[in-house]
């Protein structure tokens, strides 16, 4: 089974978390309906158990904390909102975890302005 970690940073765009989760779980549903095993183990991963977004209008409940995910196959960094410098500062504790997962063999992808958080890891070439 492919383990997918969708990060839930502070200041994230909720749709950039919920939509990828839906996509992977929908694929699992189609596979199960076809009599096959699910392919993805999807987790929302964060620094804290609950993450208020959009000034508290939306709250995401994490499935796992960064410290509890030892290894994953795919890390998805969602889009961020607001001032990018503030977002990077508020989520700087995610950077070492992303780097560690990369060096353990995980693929890392970002959506939209989440690329700034990914770039902050130093993993991008150029």
- pLDDT for the residue 77: 98
Query: Per residue in 62-85, pLDDT tens?
Result: 999 999 999 999 999 999 999 999
Q: List residues bridging with 77 in a β-sheet.
A: 110
pLDDT tens-digit map of 6-55: 999 999 999 999 999 999 999 999 999 999 999 999 999 999 999 999 98
DSSP letters spanning 68-112: G----SEEEE--B-S-HHHHHHHTGGGHHHHHHHHHTT-EEEE-T
Residue 126 has pLDDT above 90, yes or no: no
Contact 16, 112 (CB under 8 A): yes
CB atoms within 10 A of CB 110: 22
């Amino acid at each position: 089974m492919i383990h997918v970690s969708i990060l839930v940073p502070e200041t994230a765009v909720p749709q950039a978390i919920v939509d990828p989760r839906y996509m992977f779980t929908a694929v699992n549903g189609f596979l199960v309906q076809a009599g096959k095993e699910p392919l993805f183990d999807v987790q929302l991963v964060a620094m804290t158990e609950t993450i208020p977004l959009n000034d508290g209008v939306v709250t995401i409940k994490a499935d796992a904390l960064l410290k509890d995910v030892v290894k994953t196959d795919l890390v998805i960094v969602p889009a961020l909102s607001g001032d990018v410098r503030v977002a990077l500062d508020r989520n700087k504790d995610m950077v070492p975890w992303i780097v560690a997962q990369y060096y353990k063999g995980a693929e890392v992808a970002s959506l939209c302005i989440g690329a700034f958080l990914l770039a902050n890891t130093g993993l991008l070439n150029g």
